[in-house]
Amino acid sequence: MELKQFTGICRESINLINLNPLQRGGLLSEEARRVAPDWIDGYSVCDFCGGCLDRIKKPPIEEFVHKALPEFLDCDVVRLTNGAREAKFAIMHSVCREGDTILMDGNAHYSSYVAAERARLKIELIENSGHPEFKINEDDYAKRIDEVKPKLVLLTYPDGNYGNLPDARRVGKICAEHDVPFLLNCAYAIGRMPISAKKTGADFIVGSGHKSMASSGPIGVLGMKKEWEDIVLRKSEKYKGKEVEVLGCGPRGFSTITLMASFPSVVERVKNWDKEVENSQYFIKSIEAIGGIKQLGVRPTEHDLNFLEAEIFYEISQKHKKKGFFLYHELKKRGIVGIKPGLTKNFKLSTYQLNKEELKKVIDSFQEISRMN
């Protein structure tokens, strides 16, 4: 086997505009990029470890995990995990037992579903309203909790397809009234927009470092109310310092450093969320003006992640020699990537942190391409 194929690989997208929603919030901050050379080796953060990742003082992971992050998420206790999905599984696996039922929104990310399957739970869904809004009716939670008697309730905020932001506080209130723990999946929220676990009444809140906190993957955050600490963060019977659900320690290396180094800039950027939503609404308005493109999900959009129905691109693809791949190629010619090759009619994208010039370039490109019809 030719082993050289694994070395010297450049990333094609590195200097292009990447519209993939799961890439836009994970671009490293300048601060994280600057410290990278020191910390990219193996188990780098463990030089001065006494046996517990979140108690390392040098670098200041303890201060970060036990003070900065709980303040940022507005919750009592935080741990680092290998991602939002790993955090969700840790919660499901410790709060529920095999055969228990979890109730989640029909817009839940596949990883919520797979985490529940891994925990061997019965999965009940609350269907969305279907085309064009795909909205979750918060009040359905009350009825469905009575019906299926879940041990845990999950809400996706926002979902990763339509960027819909259901009323999390309303669901939190329903869960509290029914005395069911409430898990809020904020993989596309924490690090992009202001979030308070306490205000939504969430027992658990999870976020993704690589998706939305300017971090190198894989890394996530798991926040919770203090009352769950003894259950979710229970210690090993033999190794008293080791928490069982994170297998002793979570992300052991560079990803933790990037989450921490990017954190001050993430705290800042969250304050500009209104501006991001404004940009997103401006973008949608501009491309809908082309004709034949429509934003699905709740309108007007309240998030940078949006789902488009683009009849016009579908029509072009029917006549184009590259078929469904024409859109990918046309965008790439213009320095834009992130829409899945092959898609034309339905696709999602994000305008998060695009500057004015980049936003204009994307809009102009959509306009130009639409004229191929």
Report the C-alpha gap between 90 and 245 in whole angstroms: 6
Q: Which of residues 262-281 bind a copy of itself (CB under 8 A)?
A: 263-264, 267
Report the C-alpha gap between 19 and 116 in whole angstroms: 30
- Whole-number minimum distance, CB 10 to a copy of itself, in Å? 6
Report the C-alpha gap between 15 and 25 in whole angstroms: 16
Q: Which residue has the tokens 């998420």?
A: 73
- Whole-number minimum distance, CB 36 to a copy of itself, in Å? 6
> Tokens at residue 110, please?
């596949």
298, 133 in Cβ contact below 8 A? Answer: yes
Q: Does 141 bind a copy of itself (CB under 8 A)?
A: no
Q: Which of 156, 161, 200, 215 binds a copy of itself (CB under 8 A)?
A: 215
Q: Does 179 bind a copy of itself (CB under 8 A)?
A: no
Task: Tell which residue, 77, 310, 109, has the closest CA to residue 204.
Answer: 77
Report the C-alpha gap between 277 and 359 in whole angstroms: 13
Q: Does 11 bind a copy of itself (CB under 8 A)?
A: yes
- Whole-number minimum distance, CB 256 to a copy of itself, in Å? 9
Q: Which of residues 292-351 bind a copy of itself (CB under 8 A)?
A: 337-338, 341
Nearer to a copy of itself, 132 or 248 (CB): 248
With contacts defined by CB under 8 A, name the span among 19-27, 131-139, 182-190, 316-324 that binds a copy of itself.
19-27
Q: Which of residues 231-260 bind a copy of itself (CB under 8 A)?
A: 236-239, 242, 244-245, 247-248, 250-255, 257-258, 260
Q: Which of 4, 131, 321, 371 binds a copy of itself (CB under 8 A)?
A: 4
**Which residues are within 8 A (CB) of 224 and not within 5 positions of it... i.e. 6 or more apart?**
75, 76, 77, 78, 91, 203, 204, 205, 232
With contacts defined by CB under 8 A, name the span among 66-74, 134-142, 315-323, 349-357 that binds a copy of itself.
66-74
337, 331 in Cβ contact below 8 A? Answer: yes
How far are the Cα atoms of 24, 45, 218, 295 from residue 52, in angstroms, in the given order? 31, 11, 19, 46
- Whole-number minimum distance, CB 136 to a copy of itself, in Å? 18
Report the C-alpha gap between 263 and 29 in whole angstroms: 9
- Whole-number minimum distance, CB 2 to a copy of itself, in Å? 9
Q: Which of residues 77-116 bind a copy of itself (CB under 8 A)?
A: 82-83, 85-86, 89, 93, 98, 110-111, 113-115
Report the C-alpha gap between 45 and 12 in whole angstroms: 30
Nearer to a copy of itself, 149 or 234 (CB): 234
Q: Does 52 bind a copy of itself (CB under 8 A)?
A: no
Q: Which residue has the tokens 């705290």?
A: 267
